Structure 1
């Protein structure tokens, strides 16, 4: 059986966003869909019957959350399974399930406090992004445009192991959808690149050199992608704001960060802020090497 796409739901208002994106991802990748809800495990320090009654109540609540998910996914076909996981936290439970099933990806919705049409990584998403063994996707609150309708896959690209891992997964998805790829690199604005003591001439020279370097790496990255139409764009400005404002991609892939153990998502500065603010779904990809 193909590796599944896991969607974590908690009954909150962002559950439908996660289910919509997860269903699209699973169908695109020809993967089974697993909808999971995590409830607290019995405490080793619990007080016997009181603890057992409380856990039973939480289990009933979890069943109700899955019933909501079944209603949202009604008519989706038979390749959907529903799981209740007992764990110390939602993130821990989803991590364990991902390892158990060798999951393709974990999908969660934005945090409860997130504004509409913007990502806001709640505690579950942020904990998932700290050490996940597979890519983690965060769907924005109340997506105005469903995934698969815009016809472009985006990649926040820098020529690092993380950037190349994100490009590889994005290219795989693009090949499945027939969508073109666009690679984005952001160069900081002039006044943000170097200390003012360096001087404007040196600063402009630095920016010109940086742009040439980025153009070369982007061109090579596009050439490395086979079977998929791809182009690139360099943007000027704040890296998080520039990427978060993208509204013409079905999904934006990015690396986690440039260090840490291989095959683990470790949330870096840009990706951490990006998942809180992006207008489109963001997939944070662990390094493959």
Structure 2
């Protein structure tokens, strides 16, 4: 069960450098939003026995000390739980405003064994902010970058304008597309389409979409960035120098990472700024 149903910021902490970066970002987000911070330490039973046998190792006490300059002690709660980290974090993030996690390993082992960040981004009921090792030093003045497509545009833009307002930051709305291809006898062949007409269609869609939201948020400086190219490559390039990137996912499901999508997974693993994953209503999702 969760400790509270009031909106709050939840962060996973295990004492690693990535977790410290996530903790710093989570404390700033709680202060920015006027919320309390719940610091969650979760581990499997075997690891708990090892930790208890070590002297002076107290991740939660360390975490409280680390956030002391950002949040008063009365706004910080800690929780130690046995169990898989992703499961515990998703449980505690029910009704939360934001869940913050460190990116963790991004190499082959993470791909084979799974990632806590990928799991919670795919399954948590609230927005998930994924932070890399350098996340605590991410530029506070950097723009908010929103990656929009025809599947997640509404929820991503709602979150993007809100986050830009919270930060007093400009908003860059990125939308990409690529030419149609088919696999011919000699390899990948570009479909014979009117590239200029395709470009105009995507630009018209993007302009109409952004204009609808910009009128509701007149104080946000917004720039549209239509790009031809692979979505993951375009967004990874845009993540350099950004303060935050926002992408969407379809919802929760039983298969690890499936609903986050290949683009979202690549950004969670490799973006050069914190990545906020938001979800829309999916009537077919399983909980």
Class of the TM-score when normalised by the shorter of the 2 chains: 0.7 to 0.9
**Aligned structure 1 segments of 4 or more residues deviating by more than 3 angstroms:** 54-63, 196-201, 257-261
Call closer, same or farther: CA 1:103–1:242 in 2, change over 3 Å. same
| C-alpha spacing 1:87/1:10, structure 2 compared with 1 (3 Å) | same
CA distance in structure 2 between the aligned counterparts of 1:163 and 1:18, rounded to whole angstroms: 26
Q: Which moved more, 1:25-34 or 1:7-16?
A: 25-34
Task: Please give the per-residue CA displacement for 1:237-286, whole angstroms capped at 9, x wherever unaligned.
Answer: 2221221122132101000138979xxx9311211122111111111101
Q: Write the distance in 2 (CA, Å) between the matches of 1:287 and 1:60.
A: 44
From the superposition, tell whether residues 260 and 96 of structure 1 become closer, same or farther in structure 2 (CA, over 3 Å).
Answer: closer
Residue in structure 2 matched with residue 47 of structure 1 by the alignment: none
Answer yes or no: is 1:74 the counterpart of 2:62. Answer: no
**99, 107, 112: which one aligns with 2:100:** 107
- Which residue of the other structure, out of 169, 179, 202, is the alignment partner of 2:169? 179
CA distance in 2: counterparts of 1:220 and 1:166, whole angstroms: 15
Question: Which of the residues 181, 192, 207 maps onto 1:219?
Answer: 207
Q: CA deviation at 1:157?
A: 0.6
1:250 aligns with 2:237: no
What secondary structure, in the 3-state scheme, does the structure 2 residue paired with 1:245 have?
helix
Aligned to 2:9: 5
When the two structures are superposed, what TM-score results if normalisation uses the length of structure 2? Answer: 0.79
Taking the aligned partners of 2:208 and 2:28, their CA distance within structure 1 comes to 30
Kept in 1, the 8 Å contact 2:28–2:70? The answer is no
Question: Aligned to 2:224, what secondary structure does the other structure show?
Answer: strand
CA distance in 1, matches of 2:122, 2:192: 38
For residues 40 and 199 of structure 2, the distance between their equivalents in structure 1, rounded to whole angstroms, comes to: 44
Matched-pair contact (CA < 8 Å) for 1:182–1:232: yes
Q: TM-score if structure 1 supplies the norm length? A: 0.78
Paired residue total: 261
2-structure distance, mates of 1:258, 1:169:
16
